[in-house]
Amino acid sequence: MDPSSDQGARLLDELRRRRAELRESMTEVEHALASPPEASGVRWAERLRAALVELADDFRDHVAITEGPDGLYRELEMHAPRLAGPVGRLSREHDLVSRQLDELQRAVGGGSELEDVEGVRRTGTELLVVLMHHRQRGADLVFEAYQVDVGGET
């Protein structure tokens, strides 16, 4: 991919947009986890459930733009084979994050009182840390391949 070509610029713009959306949904999960749970924890759990649904959707979009048939990772494998190791690591992290998201969504459940708020908070925080590091490694990979900053804070 040539970042100065129309196709390359479009892919990078889409990547930046998806990164921003993922970051926003991570922030919503963080806010939901940090908010004080009510006595029953039902409203707290509802807010967290909604934030997790959005995060899961944004993460699926992230995986699609990176691992899809015309995605960033395929492009890197073809044009920068030296980066196969970091690309493989990021792909494996997608599986890890997906499992962690599924686990957290199961723990929050569907509409009933939440019994282990602290456990859910711990699991959610661990997920956010994994995602934060994953995003950093992804930004580093794009920079190494193309000398383009996709935005560390977005």
* Confidence check: pLDDT of 109 > 90: no
Mean pLDDT score, 30-37: 91
Q: Name the nearest CA neighbour of 111 among 11, 43, 12, 21.
A: 43
Structure tokens at 52: 């997790």
- Residue-range domain boundaries for the chain: 6-146
CATH number for 6-146 (one of 3.30.2320, 1.10.760, 3.90.1150, 1.20.120): it is: 1.20.120
Average pLDDT, the chain: 87
Q: Name the nearest CA neighbour of 34 among 21, 25, 47.
A: 47
18-27 pLDDT, tens digit per residue, is 999 999 999 9
Q: What was the pLDDT predicted at 154? A: 43
Mean pLDDT score, 116-142: 93
**Percent of the chain scored above 70 by pLDDT?**
86
